[in-house]
Every structure is written in structure tokens, then in C-alpha cells.
Amino acid sequence: MPYNYIINYPVWELDFLGGGFLIAFIAVIHVYVAHFAVGGGLFLVLTEMKGYRENSFGILEYTRKHTRFFLLVSMVFGAITGVGIWFTISLLNPAATSILIHNFVFGFATEWVFFLGEIVALFVYYYTFGKMNRRQHLAVGWLYFVFGWLSLFVINGIVTFMLTPGEWLSTKSFWDGFFNPSFWPSLFFRTFMAFMLAGLFGFITSSVIKENDLRNKIQSYCARWLIIPFIFLIASASWYINSLPEPQKLMILQSSPEIPPFIKAFLFLSPLIFAGGVLMAVRISSPLKIIVTSSLVVMGLLYMGSFEWIREAGRRPYVIYGDIYSNSIPVKEIDFIRNNGILKNSRWAMNKEIDDKNQLMAGKEIFMFMCISCHSVGGPVNDIRKAAKKYSLYGMESMLTGMGKINEYMPPFPGSGKEVKALAAYIVKELNGRKDEIPSEHSIPSLKTKTFPFDPSKDQYVLLGWTGQGMHSILDNNRFFGLSNPGTTIYAQLIKRGKSPEIVTANIELTYRIEDGFDTPSSQTDFWKHSKALYGRQIKENEGLSGNKTEGKMDYDENIMAYSAADIPVVPYRKDGAYIPFPVIYIEAKDVQYGRILCSTGISVPASTEMGCRKCHGGNWAKNGVTGLSDETALDIVRAHDRSNRTDLEKLAQAGNPQMCSKCHSEDQASPDTSAKHLNLSASIHGFHANYISKNDPDPCSNCHPSSGFSKSYRGIHSNVGLECSNCHGKMEDHALSLLVYEKNKGVKSAEKLMKHLYPRLADSVTQIEPRKPWANQPDCLNCHIGFNPPDTDQSPQNMWTRDTKSLYKMRSDEAGIMCPACHGITHAEYPATNIFGDERANFQPLMYQKNRYPIGANKNCSICHTVDMKEEIHHPNMLTIFRNFN
């Protein structure tokens, strides 16, 4: 393929000073002095007039000396740092500089002419002070001011163009770019700023006046220069922000995570500067005035710097809004680069292709082309080491994949899959020195699983129990936020054996009791400590939300003809701290009348704290090096949320008031005609992360869910025959889109933001995606197992979900009333399952009743309940076959 070089220039390897430090440093100083130069022009001539009017030699002498100070500061420092800005931008962003120069060459040239006029006028003004006739001298002074202000007029057009290019984007006309939407408000803002700074700098020169009266008089005069324009400055600032097109305004007021401190600084400094001006106007002691003056000079610099920073950051992720990104990629070329790669389109790339040998070198090159313009390496501005410190290799790849999609203050990363990996490897391994994570070698603690004998020839009852969630994540660290409660719901059905077995629903009592060591869950997690903040009520220690404890009675539910106990507190930590994500709950059926135990069995209950948040949010595992949410990880999560959504979750948490995610992201939100604001949790969390997780990732779910890893909660037959999550749930993007479409249809606006960059994988377009309600519309086994037959496909068809919660697999029954999981096990753990914590914890009941690991009654083992062999497929079609997948 012939190269179509879009990235034209080499990159100055700055490392420490990268990330725009140089330009920020030079620009802020220059802009401060340059505004002073413009406002100072008017200050000089009006002060001179005042001197004549009042016939005051003192004022005139002050004006002359101020001019000299002015000459040295503005003419030397101001002028050369102005050229410095130009030098700097051409070194840091030559492509954008070239666009500016070629479009506005005659604007720059005109400004140059005005600056020449400024130089001549200022020299003449200073060197003829007191020597020239007054009228002419004042005329020169006025001309100096006019030249200065015209310079501002011209450069203002070019600077504002970068933030709001307006019609120029389509017409490319000089005038459209120059007189852009923010031209006038910015001109007024800067003009008032210039007048204000003239007063501020007047304080410096007046502080050395020896005569008290004159000094006080001049300082009061300067204070008026500071205070009066200040009022107009604030008004024009408001006009300025309101003149901005919606995206730029949103970026400044809402989206950018880097702007808030500067807005705060601007708002904080405004009254301080005003107060400083008032203080200077009144008679206070000289030393105090020097202190106030010095403070004002510093505050003025910070004030100017804050404004400039806000303006610069407001045009993120562009350097010229809508035309060229901060990293010099032209907006119109981004798709081309995305399709053809960064390195192949960079003239100055040495590594055009990436292989194992050059991966890090190529990553470094990509970093230089794409990142160094905004990120330093170990430097004071946007240090990449610090920014990426939390990322694992996977986290970094995800970050790059999602860049610019939801948080639009960074440009999208247009690299190929290989380039994403190379850049991530360079940042994570080379810059941050992070090694590949070695899988944990945490040893399995010794476990004794109590079992119960079953004699098919004598025993009269079969007790089948299961948990309501085949995979269950809980937070063991609720200090910063709450995601779910440590509650598990269990179900059971007691069957009286016989030729015509019965489901026993009367005169019995079913009780449960968690295995030893797990009966004080509140000693293992802080959920109970924070329950009041999370749920608005104090939940008693070792109790679940329902009030159930680790042992108790099960209730009969006639709708499903089964017993259940909801929200039993189950945590994966044994008293001795061992991590066992599959505790066993023993259940026992008793005859109420005689108290006789009819049957006992056990249910392995998944409860995992092994969520993969830390891959992207940093931090280590909190427990045993294998699991648990650390403070560091949790804090990063709330910080990321706060940053992107302008919430104050961290502050609330630090004050002992962590919030439940579902408080805002509830699943039962208001109807479309009311104020449905937030996405439900599933849509939000999947929708957000789907933007980041690479589509090249074959198993994206396990990065967050405990489906693999040490917990390996995806442990059933489907897992063992090699099916992946997406075979049933759909691809990540489709999965997220279905949840988001549901919310979008409900009128939740933020759904669109998350959907903007998500493209369906199995459907052709988003319009083909069926909306899906979380926890209700789930994969239906019969989608693939049509008519209970072996499936023809290993991919669940699109858009076919269970109708509602009642039709979920876990709530469904066969023709005889036996619930599906009673015989087959719960989802993700369908028999025969595997479990590193022991076979009993995978297939407790098949092993107990059948001495095998297959579903109850599999391989024509009808006698387990019927006591005899059966020939009719009463429970469901195709049941009288031999189990296909032996293992």
C-alpha cells in the first residue's frame, strides 16, 4: 500500500518537559505582560493628562518612570516571549501552527506592522517625555495605545479562532475564522483585563514613590484602574462563556476533568483581586501596601493563567476546534488512520510494522506521535507515569480503546489493535516498569465438606436445593461505595419418592444453616458498618437485608411450589480469613408433626469478591493476594465517577457516607414523561465499560466478573465444553447496546452518549437491537436447546431473551412442577460442573443422590425419584437419553 502520510512532522522528545509545560510557561508569562502593555498604553496617556490637568510634576515624573519600567517589561520581555510562543508552538505542534500561519498569514503580518508602530511610538513617548510639546506627546501616547490595542484586536481573532472556528470549518474563509463566534466577547474581556492589569502594575511602580501623599494618590488612582474595569471584566466573562457553542461550553462547564480547579481559582481570585484593589484605594500602611501589591501581582498572574488554561482546555480534544486534534491528527483523517494505522501514516516513524521484537520501540514512537503533545514523562504537566500508574497492561489497552469516546477531552486513539498493544506495553512496562502479572499461586485451603448418605433402596425423600445466583459478586469494601449486598437467596424442593413422586409442600419445615466458619459474616466485611449509609437503615450484624441470618427457616412459595430463604448473608471468607468463594449451605427437611428429619443436603453458594476493577482502576487485591477490593481501587472508581460526572462521591465517602450505586442507577426509574435521569446500573456499567473494552478481547466479561480467575464462577457444563459468555449473552457491544436501548426508549438521555461509539457485532445496526431489561430479559436455554434437543449452534440467536423474571431459567418449572435448577443446577454451574474447591461444591446433589456429576435423573436414572425406570418424558422432551458430554 502506498503510504498516505498524514502525520507529517518529527516529534521533539521532551519527556520531562512534555505535555505543554513549555507553552504554558511561556504563554502565561507573555499574556500577562502583553495585556499589561495594551492597558498600560491607555494608563500612560491618561495619567500624563492627569498630571497636566492637576499641574503636578510628581504625577508626570511618576508617569515617566512608569514608562521606563513599561519599556523594559513590555518591550523586551513581552515582545520576545511573544516570539517565544510562536517558536514553541511550532516545535510542539507544527501541523497546527502551519494551519494557523497559512490561514492567517496576513493577520499575523498586520499585527507585526502594528507592533512596529508600538515600538516606534513607545520609544518616542519615553525618550521625548518632558521634551516634546504636550499636545504632540499626548498624541504619540494615544497612538501607542491604539497600536497596542490593534495588536490585541488582531491576535484576538486568531486565538479565539482556535476555540471557536465557526463557519471557517466549512468555508475556510479568513474572515469567517477571524470574526468567529467568540471574537467580540473575548476582545472585550481581554481589553478590560488589560486595563485592570495596567492598574495592577501601576501599584508596583507607585510603591517606590517616596512622597507619601503622592504615593497614596497614585495608588488610589491605580486602584480605580483595577476596580472599575474589573466589574466589566466579570460581565464580559459571562458574555464570553455564553457566546460559546454548546460543545465548548459543555466541555468547560461539565465535561473536562482538568478545568474545574481553574474555574475555582478564577472564581476564588475574583473577589480577592477586587478586595486587593479596594485595600490599595484606602489609606493603609506602606508595608502593608507592598504586601498587597506583591499578592496582587501573583494573583493577577494566576488569574490570567487560570483564564488562559480554561480557554485552552475548553477546546479539548482539539487544538483547532473541530479541525485538528491536540495531537496533530486532522479530524477528517481520523478514520483513515484508524483503518490503516498510525505508524504507516507517519513520515517520521521508523517502525512501520510491529512485531514482538520491536513492540516497545514502536510503542515509544506511537507515544511520541500521539501523546507527548499533552503528556510529559515524569514532568509537571499531565505526567503519563502518574496518569497511567494504575493501569495494568489490560487496563491501559482498555483506556486507549475507549479514549475520546465518552470523555471527549482526549482525542480518540486511532491506532490499530497492534498499535494499542504496543503503546500500552510501552507505557505500562517501559515507562512504569510494571511486570506482567503472574497468576496467583494462592493455595486452596483445606476443606471438609459435610456430605449426607443416600440409600436409594431405603430413603424416602429427595431434597433438591439450589442458589438463585450461579455467579454472585459482592463488595467486601463498602467504605467508598456500595454495589450489592452480601445476600444470597436459596431455593429447595422436597420430593417424596415413589412410582408417582410428589412435591411435598405441607407439614414439613425446611431449615438452612451455613457451614461452620461462615456464620459471622459481619466480622469479614464492612457492609454492616456502612449499611445505614448505603440502605438508609442499620442492618443488624450477621443479618441479611431480609432479616435472615446464616441459619434459619425457609418459607414456602406457592407460586413456584418451592421453599426459599432470601438474602442470607454469605461472604466468601471463613473465620480464619481463608478465601472460599463457594461456602455450603446445608438444608434440612423435617416432619413438622414428629420432628423427624426427612432429608438433608447441601448447596454450594457462590459469593465472590474477585472483581477485576483493579485492572483499570489500580490498586492491589485486598485479601490474600487473590481477591478483595482495596481502598485504592475503590477510591479510584469514585474519583473517576466524580471526575466524569461532577459528583462528590469521594467527599461523601470520606465523610462516612458512602453511596449505593443503585441509589441513582436504580432499575425501576421514573417513566419517560417524568424525570428519568440516570441509567440503570446494568446499562450504565456495561454501557460505559463496553466503550473501553477492546473488541479484540475474546473474553471481555471475565475482566470484571469473577467468571474466571481464582473464583471461576463460570464452572458448569457450558464452560467445560468451551462455550464463552458471549455464546449465550451476546457480544459485549450488543449486550451493552440492548440495555442502553431499553433506557433510551425510557427517555434516559445519557444512554445516547454511551451508545455513540458502540457498534453492534452480531446485528447490522442499532435499530436491530431489541431493548433489554436487566435481570428480566436474559438468555433463554431453549433458544439453543430448541425443544430440549441438542443445539445446532453454539451462538444464542440475537434479541431472544426471556420475557420477564418469571420466565427466567431459575424460576421455571417442568410439566410436573419441578424447577429447572433443581435437577440441572443453577446457571453458570449446570451439572456436571467443576470446582477447584472440591467436587462436592460443584455437584453436591448429583454426587449425593447418584454418585455421579450429571443432572438429577440423567442417563435414564428416573428411579432416583420414581424408584423405577420410566419410559415417558414427563418432565421435558428428550430427557430419556444418555448424557452427551461426559467428562
Partner 1 sequence: MNTASLIPAPDIIPVHWAWFKVLLITTFTAHILLMNIMLGSAIIAFISAINRQSESSLISLEKEISQKNTFIIAFTINFGVAPLLFLQVLYGNFFYTSSILMAVYWLSVIFLLITAYYAAYIYKFNFDRLALNRKYAAGLSALLLLVTAFFFTNNMTLMLVPGSWVRYFANPSGTILNLSEPTFFPRFFHFVIASIAVSGLFTAITWQRKKKNGVSHSDINITRGMKYFIYATIVQFCVGIWFLISLPRDIMLLFLGREMVHSAVFLAGLFAGITALVFGFIKKVWPAAWATIISIIFMVLVRDMVRTAYLKPYFAVEKLKTIYQYSPMIMFLVATIVSTVVIIYIIRCALQVKPS
Site residues for partner 1 per CB under 8 A: 3, 5, 8-14, 22, 26, 72, 75-77, 79-81, 83-84, 87-88, 90-91, 94-95, 97-99, 101-110, 112-117, 119-121, 123-124, 127-128, 131-132, 136-137, 139-140, 143, 147, 172-175, 347-348, 350, 368
Nearer of residues 93 and 604 to partner 1, judged by Cβ = 93
Nearer of residues 31 and 748 to partner 1, judged by Cβ = 31
Per residue, the 3-state secondary structure of 11-63, as one string, reads: CCCCHHHCCCHHHHHHHHHHHHHHHHHHHHHHHHHHHHHHHHHCCCHHHHHHH
Nearer of residues 132 and 301 to partner 1, judged by Cβ = 132
Nearer of residues 9 and 268 to partner 1, judged by Cβ = 9
Is 304 within 8 Å of 31 (Cβ atoms)? Answer: yes
Nearer of residues 333 and 519 to partner 1, judged by Cβ = 333
DSSP 8-state code for residue 131? T
Supply the minimum distance, in Å, between the C-beta of residue 396 and partner 1: 23
| C-alpha cell read off for 197 | 492589569
- Rg over alpha carbons for the chain, rounded to the nearest Å, is 36
How far, in Å, CA of 739 to CA of 114, rounded? 60
Supply the minimum distance, in Å, between the C-beta of residue 146 and partner 1: 8
How far, in Å, CA of 801 to CA of 777, rounded? 5
- B/e letters for 775-804, b = 16+ CB within 10 Å, e = fewer, are ebbbbbbbbbeeeeeeeeeebbebbebbee
Supply the minimum distance, in Å, between the C-beta of residue 8 and partner 1: 3
- Looking at the DSSP bridge assignments, the partners of residue 556 are 563
* Residue 128 Cα distances to 75, 124, 125, 142, 199, angstroms: 17, 6, 6, 14, 23
Of 198, 210, 204, 201, nearest to 58 by C-alpha is: 210
Supply the minimum distance, in Å, between the C-beta of residue 91 and partner 1: 5
Supply the minimum distance, in Å, between the C-beta of residue 92 and partner 1: 9
Supply the minimum distance, in Å, between the C-beta of residue 117 and partner 1: 5
Supply the minimum distance, in Å, between the C-beta of residue 364 and partner 1: 10
Q: Is 361 exposed, middle or buried (0-12, 13-18, 19+ CB in 10 A)?
A: middle
Nearer of residues 7 and 819 to partner 1, judged by Cβ = 7
- B/e letters for 327-341, b = 16+ CB within 10 Å, e = fewer, are bbbbbebbeebeebb
Residue 833 CB: number of other CB atoms within 10 A? 25
Supply the minimum distance, in Å, between the C-beta of residue 95 and partner 1: 8
Nearer of residues 119 and 272 to partner 1, judged by Cβ = 119
Supply the minimum distance, in Å, between the C-beta of residue 406 and partner 1: 33
Is 99 within 8 Å of 323 (Cβ atoms)? Answer: yes
Nearer of residues 110 and 382 to partner 1, judged by Cβ = 110
Supply the minimum distance, in Å, between the C-beta of residue 113 and partner 1: 5
CA dihedral 605, 447, 551, 594 (to 10 degrees): 110
Nearer of residues 105 and 444 to partner 1, judged by Cβ = 105
Nearer of residues 113 and 208 to partner 1, judged by Cβ = 113
Nearer of residues 118 and 567 to partner 1, judged by Cβ = 118
Supply the minimum distance, in Å, between the C-beta of residue 437 and partner 1: 32
* Residue 269 Cα distances to 108, 507, 523, 575, angstroms: 33, 77, 49, 55
**Residue 447 neighbours by CB under 8 Å, 6+ apart:** 580, 837, 838, 841
How far, in Å, CA of 270 to CA of 273, rounded? 5
Of 370, 396, 269, 328, nearest to 8 by C-alpha is: 328
